[in-house]
Each structure stands twice: as C-alpha cells, then as structure tokens.
Amino acid sequence: MQRRYLSLAAAIATTMTVTLTGCGSGPGSDDVTLKLIAADYGDSRPNGSQNYWDELARAFEEKNPGIKVDVEVYSWTDVDKKVEELVKDGHAPDLAQIGAYADYAAKGQLYSVDKLVTVSTQANFTPSLAEAGEYKRIQYGMPFGASTRRLFYNKKLFSQAGITSPPTSWDDIAHDAQLLKARGVKMPFALPLGPEETQAETMQWMLSGGGGYTDSIGKYTIDSPENVKAFKWLKEDLVGKGLTGVDPAKLNREDAFEGFADGDVGMLNGHPALMKQAAAKGIDYGTVELPGAHGKAKATMGVADWMMAFKQGGHRAEVGKFLDFVYSKKNVEKFSGEYGLLPVTTPASQAMLADDKYAKFHGFLNQLANAEFYPANKTSWPLISKTVKAKMGAAVGPRGNPSGVLTDIQNTADTADSAAE
C-alpha cells in the first residue's frame, strides 16, 4: 500500500512539473528556453556582443518556433567566474562561451560535440582549432573567435629612425629598438608582461625561441633550455638596455595597444583587433610574422575562446539546432568581421580570404592552420596561466631570475598534473 501511494505521488509530481515548466517542443507555453552565458568582445556599448547575440537569437527563433534563446553577456573579467558560480550552484547554463572548457569536460558535465551538431558542422571547424578543443581525444570545446599573432611596427617611426625594413630576428629587434630609442621613441619595443595577459606574451617568446609551454605529447616544458634562453635574452638585451621604455611587469596589453595607437610604441606583438585600433588613430603600420632567435619563429601563437554545452538542462536537441545556426558560414563570417577576429570554420575562412575587404586579415588567417595554442585541454592550465601572470613580469626585471622563475612554474605544473592523474 505504501508503494502504491508513493507511485501515485510521483506521478502527480511529474505531471505538475511538466505542466508548470512547459519543457515541450511545441509553440507557446511549451517553448524551450535555452540559456547562454557569453563574453563581450565589443569596445563600446553600441558594438557590444549583447547586440550581436540578441539579433542572432531573434533570427534563430523565427526559423525555429518553440525554441527561445536567452543570452546574458558579461565582460571577460567576469564571465568565467559567472559560469563557474552557476555550475557550482547547480544551475549550469545550457551554453557557455568562455575561456576554458577542460575542467567541465573532465567532470563529465559537457556534451561532446558529436552529440550536438551535424556532421557537416563539426567537420567545418578549422582542424587545428577542433583539435585544440579536445579533452582525451574527444571534442568538447567548440572554437568561438580566434586570432593569431604578428609583430606590428610603426612605419613612420621606423622611417624617422632610418630603419628600412621590419625585423626578422631577435638581433634585428634589438638593433631597431636601439635606433628608435636614440630617436626619442617612448617605448621602442612594448613588452606587456603585466597581469592582464602575461600568459600570451610569454608564449609568443617561447615559440619564437623554439620552445613552448608543452611538448608534442602534452607534457609541460616550461623550464626548457629554449624557454630559459628566450627570457634571459629579454632580460639582458631588451629590458636591461632600456629598450622597452617601461617596466614590463607594469605594462598590460591594453595599455601597450593604446600606446601603439597613440604613436608612442615602435614595435610590439599584436592580434588582429589592434589593426582597427591603430587605423582609427591614423597610424601607418605594418605587420610581419614573429621574428625568432635566428630568423622566423618556429610557429605563431593561436588563441581561441570556447563554446560548450552543459548536460544539466537536458536540451541536447535544441542546443544542437542552435549551434548549427550559430556556426553557419554567414554568421561566423559576420561575427569575425564585426569584432576583428579570425573565422573558426573552413568555409568562413575561405570566404574571408577571397574577399579583398579583409586583405589585412589574410596574413593572420594564413597562419591559423599551423598555429600553436594554449594547452587548454589540460585541467591544470588555468592554474599555470594564473601563475605565469603572477611571476613572469618580474623575471625579466633588474633583479629577475628567468631560469629560477621558469623552474618554479614548472614545479607547480608538474604537481598539478600529478594531482589530476
């Protein structure tokens, strides 16, 4: 008798839940509402990402009656933390477009990409980006917004200093920076190792010296001889000779970019968004592939942000429909063009390469296939990134010890990896 009453109560509860939540797939009261938390790529309210997503959601809803999309956009300072809090409180969004996916994948909280989108949508992702979105060889992270890095130089300042061609090696950088300094340029080479994006500038110099954060099998190699050599060179031949203008540990990327746009920086490593910023201030600039120790760097750094889908809400089919729409060629190309980013799918990339309107993007885009990315598939990466931000700026300062700092970070990485096994 007790079992009968329990079964009846469960049936009533189930009926009430269906009635009250309206989680069917039909129109009206049975609409499914998908929750998306996304990052803001805009540099002002008029071109903020909320506008992009609102327009995209309306277009999707018109084609898919019964599915609503509610998007909340947060700054990059807050978005990862917001998603983390929602997941921790048991209210994971259906979708999140943030900076890292591996922790959630490792905990079994995400749908794999093959369970969400059509075969053609998954196949369209740029292969290097799709691979970077894999955790234990299964793709959970869908790239959303990508960039590569090139060296920017101010043509006017170069000409005034008597420099006739951009640098192609570290020796060239040091030589040209000396000429710029002698000409009175405030920051001959801007080296942003402040806390904002230290992990990016660090990786670029690692790659230019033939090193990197990890080896070919994903093991951390932070204190490799190549990396130590790169940061000793920065300390002794660039920072130590006053060629960065300011203490790198106190210079953030945003300020370095602003300095370049104001005409106070001779050279720096930058991504496509800097082109728009510099052009708006009338700066005549050029870009070249990153110089290496003795010639072109072995690789450029690629950066991708990630879209992921959480299982908790159970809206796999509806999420998949929305993602197929998000990653259509038209929408990927529109987002990339609007925010100065590189397309993350092959069809949109081909369209951008064929369009002279995007000619200045072509150098960045041609590097994407062979770019190297943060080890975002490692659950230890957020900790290592945070540690790099805290330590690398001081490593190239007057009292810095690049070898010691890189070894300390390597030890932290080894411990974190061992704990994750």
Q: Where are the beta strands (DSSP E) in 166-212?
A: 187-189
Compute the average pLDDT of residues 237-256: 96
Which has the closest alpha carbon to 139: 156, 162, 169, 116?
Answer: 116
Question: What pLDDT, on a 0 to 100 scale, did the predictor assign at position 421?
Answer: 64
Give 348's DSSP letter: H
pLDDT in tens, 303-324: 999 999 999 999 999 999 999 9
Quote the pLDDT of residue 23: 41
CA distances from 4 to 9, 11, 18 (A): 9, 11, 21
Q: Say if CB 186 and CB 265 are below 8 A apart.
A: yes
Answer for the pair 269, 131: CB distance below 8 angstroms, yes or no: no
Residues 291 and 296: their CA atoms lie apart, in Å, by 5
- Whether the per-residue pLDDT at 147 is higher than 60: the answer is yes
- As a whole-number percent, the residues of the chain with pLDDT over 90 amount to 84
Give 368's pLDDT tier (boundaries 50, 70, 90). Answer: very high
pLDDT of amino acid 4: 36
Whole-angstrom distance, CA of residue 36 vs CA of residue 151? 35
Distance CA 301, CA 370 (A): 9
The C-alpha atoms of residue 209 and residue 192 are separated, in whole angstroms, by: 18
The reply to whether 149-301+378-419 shares the fold of 32-147+303-372 is yes
Going from N- to C-terminal start, the domains of the chain cover 32-147+303-372, 149-301+378-419
CA-CA distance, 47 to 401, in Å (whole number)?
43
Residue 153: the pLDDT is 98
Distance between CA atoms of residues 200 and 208, nearest Å: 12
Does the pLDDT value for residue 10 go beyond 70? no
| pLDDT of 158 strictly over 50 | yes
Report the first-to-last Cα separation within the chain, whole angstroms: 49
Q: Which CATH superfamily is domain 32-147+303-372 in?
A: Periplasmic binding protein-like II (3.40.190.10)
Q: What SS3 class is residue 401?
A: coil
Q: Is the pLDDT of residue 347 over 90?
A: yes
pLDDT at 14: 40
pLDDT tens for each residue of 33-88: 999 999 999 877 778 899 999 999 999 999 999 999 999 999 988 999 999 999 99
Contacts of 297 (CB under 8 A, 6+ apart): 207, 208, 289, 290, 291
Q: What percent of the chain clears pLDDT 70, i.e. is strictly above it?
A: 93
Nearest to 292 by CA among 375, 370, 364, 233: 233
Residue 25 pLDDT level (bands cut at 50, 70, 90)? very low
Amino acid letter, 290: L
Determine phi and psi for 145, rounding to 5 degrees.
85, 120
Which among 32, 51, 33, 55 is positioned nearest to 43, based on CA atoms? 51
pLDDT at residue 29 tops 90: no
Q: Which of 371, 421, 395 is closest to 223 using CA atoms?
A: 395
The set of residues, in sequence order, having a beta carbon less than 8 Å from that of 1 and lying 6+ positions away, is: none
Task: Tell me the torsion sign for CA atoms 139, 298, 367, 386.
Answer: positive
The one-letter code for the residue type at 405 is: V
Residue in the block written with tokens 């609007």: 338
Let me know how long the chain is. Answer: 421
Mean pLDDT (whole number) for 287-314: 94
Reference 142, options 151, 156, 131, 155; nearest CA is: 131
Chain centroid to CA 266:
25
Average pLDDT, the chain: 91
Residue type, 114: D
What pLDDT digit, counting tens, does each position of 169-218 carry?
Answer: 999 999 999 999 999 999 999 999 998 899 999 999 999 999 999 998 99
Can you tell me which residue has the tokens 């007790």?
A: 2
- CA-closest candidate to residue 178, choices 241, 235, 263: 241
- Domain spanning 149-301+378-419: which superfamily? Periplasmic binding protein-like II (3.40.190.10)
**Contact call for residues 413 and 270 (beta carbons, < 8 A):** no
Report the chain's C-alpha Rg in angstroms. 24
Q: Is the C-alpha dihedral spanning 73, 77, 83, 88 positive or negative?
A: negative
Cβ distance 213 to 413 under 8 Å? no
- Report whether 194 contacts 258 (CB < 8 A): no
Q: Comparing C-alpha atoms, which of 336, 398, 383, 387 is closest to residue 361?
A: 336
